[in-house]
Amino acid sequence: DAGVTQTPRHEVAEKGQTIILKCEPVSGHNDLFWYRQTKIQGLELLSYFRSKSLMEDGGAFKDRFKAEMLNSSFSTLKIQPTEPKDSAVYLCAGGDQNTLYFGAGTRLSVL
Amino acid sequence: QQQVRQSPQSLTVWEGETAILNCSYENSAFDYFPWYQQFPGEGPALLISILSVSDKKEDGRFTIFFNKREKKLSLHIADSQPGDSATYFCAASRTGGYKVVFGSGTRLLVSP
């Protein structure tokens, strides 16, 4: 079991850039989540997919954040354009019976 | 109504002591309460969980005590080890649902 794989582990972007974060979930999990983690806000849900269909697109994050699930084994999170306040750790998680299996995350720094 | 609160924000205990982490919630519809453990540089990982039909769940040195009437639960870590030093998140959801509400976490440091 390779677990959930996220790439890159670290990303540095300039304000206004477009960045794409990648996630390879564990095979067999029907649910896929993108979370943002910061010290102040904690864990915030960005997007949720069930069986590759987008079920929730994160409300306040809709305008510059777009998650896609191209197939059952690959998902991306695009942030366009990036802003300094987007600096955070972005976590992808597969879901199975109410349990979340998180990747190690991508630490994004926006200058 | 969706909030999950944790206290304390940080906790330091000596090796061998019992660490007690507290959690409360507001939404009485929540019936599943997992605790996640997160080490620096890693994502959170499920540590132990409890359903609201139970008032206690044990797994080795980790025990959840659950009080449905007061909407409170706590995680007890017996015989704490330095390797237990991590951030612990209390979470709540409804079984069959997908939304998991996380608390803000308790950062535990176990000193040798």
Other CB atoms closer than 10 Å to residue B102's CB: what's the count?
22
Instruction: Report pLDDT for A101.
Output: 93
Instruction: Report pLDDT for B2.
Output: 67
- Rounded to a whole number, what is the distance in angstroms from the first to the last CA of chain A? 36
Does residue B60 have a pLDDT over 60? Answer: yes
Looking at per-residue pLDDT, the higher value among A75 and A28 belongs to: A75
Instruction: Report pLDDT for A47.
Output: 92
Burial of B67 (0-12, 13-18, 19+ CB in 10 A): exposed
Kindly report the length of chain A. 111
Instruction: Please report which confidence band the pLDDT of residue A71 belongs to, taking 50, 70 and 90 as the band edges.
Output: confident
Does residue A1 have a pLDDT over 60? Answer: no
Q: If you measure CA to CA, which chain B residue comes closest to A43?
A: B102
Instruction: Scan residues 33-52 of A and list those with Cβ closer than 8 Å to B.
Output: 42-43, 45, 48, 50
Decide if B104 and A42 are in contact by the 8 Å CB cutoff: yes
A53/B contact by beta carbon, under 8 A: no
A103/B contact by beta carbon, under 8 A: yes
Does residue A2 have a pLDDT over 80? Answer: no
CA angle B72, B2, B61 (to 5 degrees): 35
Q: Which of A69-73, A99-103, B71-75 has the lowest mean pLDDT?
A: A69-73
Tell me the per-residue pLDDT of B31-44, one tens digit each, with 9 for 90 and over. 999 999 999 999 99
Structure tokens at A53: 């269909």
CA distance B19 to B75: 8
Other CB atoms closer than 10 Å to residue A68's CB: what's the count?
14
Nearest to B41 among A48, A100, A104 (CB): A104
Q: If you measure CA to CA, which chain A residue comes closest to B6?
A: A42
CA distance A45 to A34: 6
Does residue B1 have a pLDDT over 60? Answer: no
Looking at per-residue pLDDT, the higher value among A26 and B96 belongs to: A26
CA distance B41 to A7: 13
Tokens 């659950």 belong to residue = B66
**Cα atoms found within 13 Å of the Cα of residue A67, Cβ hemisphere only:** 30
